C-alpha cells in the first residue's frame, strides 16, 4: 500500500494484483499534475485513471469517470472503499460515452493513438469544450501537438516531475472520424475491432502462429461439446476460429477491455448464428467456476505503460482454477519469456507444442 499526500488530503492506495516485491505505485506525476490543475474546477470528467487515484482524490469534482479497463474499475472501487469515499460520479466504459455530458475532460494519455482519437471524437460530439491530455515525458507521442492542433488551440503546461499536460480548447464541432469500430476479414472470419482493441488493424503474429496449430489442439480435445475459454480475447479471433473447427463447443470470451468484449460480441454476431456463447468483461478468469475443458490464451505483457509478466502469472493461476478435471491450457508467448517454468510450478505436465523464431506454444494440464 502507498500513501498519496496531495491537495490537503492523505490517501492509502493500492495497485491490485501487483506482487508486493514489484515497486509499482498506483499513480504517477501526471496524475498529480491533473489533481493540482483540477482543484479550481467544479466538475471534470476523468478518463483512463490507471488505478483510481484520480477518482479518490478528485471525487468531489468528478462528474464522469470513464475507463475501458475492468481492472482499473476494480482498483477504483477498492481504493474508494479503502479510503471510505462514496463516489457520487458516474462510472462509464468508453462504449457508454453518449451518457457523458460535461465541459472539461482530462485524459491520462493512452498508449494507443487510435483510442485517443476515438475519445476526442466522442468528447467533442458530446459537447466538451476543453480536453486535457496528461502524460509522462517518456510516453508522449512525437506528433501529439500537431495531432491535437487539428481540434483547436493547444497550450502545453511546463514539465513538473517529468510530467506535462496539453490543454486543448476545442474550436470545431466537426471532427474527422477515428474510423473505429472497423471491420476486418481475417482467415475467413469477419472481425469487428474497436479503437482500443489489441490487433485492431491486423492479426497479431503470435495469434497467427497459434492458429496454425489449432487443428491439432482441437483433435487432442476429447470432449464432444467442450466448454472453451478464449482468455484475453481481443477481437475474439482465437475463439471464433476454434468454434469453426468444433461447431458444438460452447465459447466464453474473456477480456478486461470493454472495447474488446464489445468487439467479440460484434464479431460473433457477424460469423455465428448459435447462442452457445458468453462474454465476460473482467480481470482474467477471476471467480470463474472450474468448468473449462480448454483455455486458449495469448497473454498480455504490459499493464498500461509497465512491461511486466506479473499479469500473465496471475492469468495462469486463474486458468488453473477454472479448468475442469482433465482440462487443458494452451498459450502462445514470446519465446524469451520464462512461461514454461512459471507453468511448471503450477501444473503437473507442461510441454512445448511448437516454436518458431519468435514464439512458443505451451500446453499445461494436471
Ligand X SMILES: C[S@@+](CC[C@H](N)C(=O)[O-])C[C@H]1O[C@@H](n2cnc3c(N)ncnc32)[C@H](O)[C@@H]1O
Which parts of this chain interact with ligand X (CB under 6 A)?
71, 198-199, 204, 207, 232-234, 237-238, 254-257, 260, 283-284, 298, 300, 311
Pick between residue 32 and residue 74 the one whose CB is nearest to ligand X: 74
236: left (phi over 0), alpha (psi -120 to 50) or beta: left
Work out how close the CB of 174 gets to ligand X at its nearest, in angstroms, rounded to a whole number: 31
- Cell numbers that stand for 243 in this block: 468454434
Do the beta carbons of residue 347 and residue 331 sit within 8 Å? no
Pick between residue 151 and residue 281 the one whose CB is nearest to ligand X: 281
Work out how close the CB of 265 gets to ligand X at its nearest, in angstroms, rounded to a whole number: 14
Which DSSP string corresponds to 136-201? Answer: EGGG--TTHHHHHHTTEEEEEPPPBTTEEEEEEEE--S-------SEEEEETTEEEEE-TT-TTSS
Pick between residue 123 and residue 295 the one whose CB is nearest to ligand X: 295
Work out how close the CB of 350 gets to ligand X at its nearest, in angstroms, rounded to a whole number: 20
Pick between residue 36 and residue 282 the one whose CB is nearest to ligand X: 282
Q: Where are the alpha helices (DSSP H) in 50-157?
A: 53-57, 70-82, 113-125, 144-149
Pick between residue 189 and residue 298 the one whose CB is nearest to ligand X: 298
Work out how close the CB of 150 gets to ligand X at its nearest, in angstroms, rounded to a whole number: 28
Work out how close the CB of 137 gets to ligand X at its nearest, in angstroms, rounded to a whole number: 25
Distances (CA, A) of 8 to 31, 36, 43, 78: 15, 11, 18, 21
Work out how close the CB of 271 gets to ligand X at its nearest, in angstroms, rounded to a whole number: 15
Do the beta carbons of residue 110 and residue 38 sit within 8 Å? no
Rounded to a whole number of angstroms, the CA Rg of the chain reads 21
Chain residue whose CB lies nearest ligand X? 234
Work out how close the CB of 356 gets to ligand X at its nearest, in angstroms, rounded to a whole number: 16
Rounded to an integer, what distance in angstroms lies between the CA atom of residue 242 and that of residue 158? 51
Pick between residue 106 and residue 295 the one whose CB is nearest to ligand X: 295
Pick between residue 249 and residue 298 the one whose CB is nearest to ligand X: 298
Work out how close the CB of 156 gets to ligand X at its nearest, in angstroms, rounded to a whole number: 30
Rounded to an integer, what distance in angstroms lies between the CA atom of residue 202 and that of residue 221? 28
Residue 158 CB burial class (10 angstroms; 0-12, 13-18, ≥19): exposed
Rounded to an integer, what distance in angstroms lies between the CA atom of residue 214 and that of residue 228? 13
Pick between residue 114 and residue 257 the one whose CB is nearest to ligand X: 257
Rounded to an integer, what distance in angstroms lies between the CA atom of residue 125 and that of residue 175? 8
Pick between residue 59 and residue 249 the one whose CB is nearest to ligand X: 249
Work out how close the CB of 105 gets to ligand X at its nearest, in angstroms, rounded to a whole number: 23
CA 213 to mean position of chain CA atoms = 26
Amino acid at each position: 500500500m502507498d500513501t498519496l499526500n496531495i491537495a490537503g488530503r492523505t490517501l492509502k492506495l493500492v495497485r491490485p494484483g501487483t506482487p508486493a516485491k514489484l515497486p509499482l505505485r498506483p499513480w504517477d506525476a501526471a496524475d498529480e499534475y491533473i489533481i493540482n490543475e483540477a482543484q479550481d474546477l467544479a466538475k471534470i470528467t476523468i478518463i483512463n485513471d490507471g488505478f483510481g487515484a484520480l477518482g479518490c482524490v478528485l471525487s468531489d469534482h468528478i462528474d464522469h469517470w470513464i475507463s475501458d479497463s475492468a481492472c482499473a474499475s476494480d482498483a477504483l472501487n477498492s481504493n474508494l472503499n479503502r479510503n471510505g469515499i462514496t463516489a457520487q460520479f458516474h462510472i462509464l466504459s468508453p462504449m457508454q460515452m453518449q451518457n457523458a455530458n460535461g465541459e472539461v475532460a482530462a485524459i491520462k494519455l493512452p498508449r494507443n493513438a487510435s483510442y485517443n482519437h476515438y475519445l476526442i471524437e466522442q468528447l467533442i460530439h458530446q459537447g466538451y469544450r476543453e480536453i486535457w491530455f496528461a502524460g509522462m515525458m517518456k510516453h508522449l507521442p512525437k506528433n501529439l501537438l500537431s495531432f491535437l492542433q487539428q481540434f483547436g488551440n493547444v497550450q502545453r503546461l511546463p514539465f513538473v516531475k517529468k510530467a506535462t499536460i496539453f490543454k486543448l480548447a476545442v474550436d470545431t464541432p466537426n471532427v474527422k472520424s477515428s474510423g473505429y469500430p472497423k471491420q476486418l476479414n481475417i482467415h475467413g472470419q469477419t472481425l469487428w475491432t474497436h479503437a482500443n482493441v489489441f490487433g485492431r488493424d491486423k492479426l497479431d503474429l503470435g495469434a497467427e502462429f497459434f492458429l496454425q496449430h489449432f487443428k491439432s489442439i482441437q483433435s487432442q480435445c476429447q470432449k464432444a461439446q467442450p466448454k472453451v475459454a478464449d482468455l484475453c480475447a481481443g477481437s475474439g479471433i482465437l475463439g471464433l476460429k476454434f468454434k469453426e473447427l468444433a461447431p458444438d463447443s460452447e465459447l466464453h470470451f474473456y477480456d478486461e477491455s470493454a472495447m474488446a468484449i464489445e468487439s467479440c460480441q460484434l464479431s460473433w454476431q457477424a460469423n455465428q448464428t448459435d447462442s452457445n456463447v458468453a462474454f465476460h468483461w473482467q480481470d482474467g478468469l477471476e471467480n470463474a467456476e472450474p468448468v473449462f475443458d480448454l483455455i486458449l490464451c495469448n497473454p498480455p505483457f504490459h499493464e498500461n505503460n509497465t512491461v511486466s509478466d506479473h499479469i500473465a502469472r496471475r492469468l495462469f493461476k486463474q486458468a488453473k482454477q477454472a479448468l475442469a478435471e482433465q482440462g487443458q491450457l494452451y498459450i502462445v508467448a514470446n519465446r524469451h519469456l520464462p512461461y514454461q517454468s512459471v507453468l511448471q510450478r503450477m501444473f503437473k505436465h507442461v510441454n512445448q507444442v511448437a516454436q518458431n523464431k519468435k514464439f512458443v506454444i505451451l500446453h499445461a494440464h494436471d
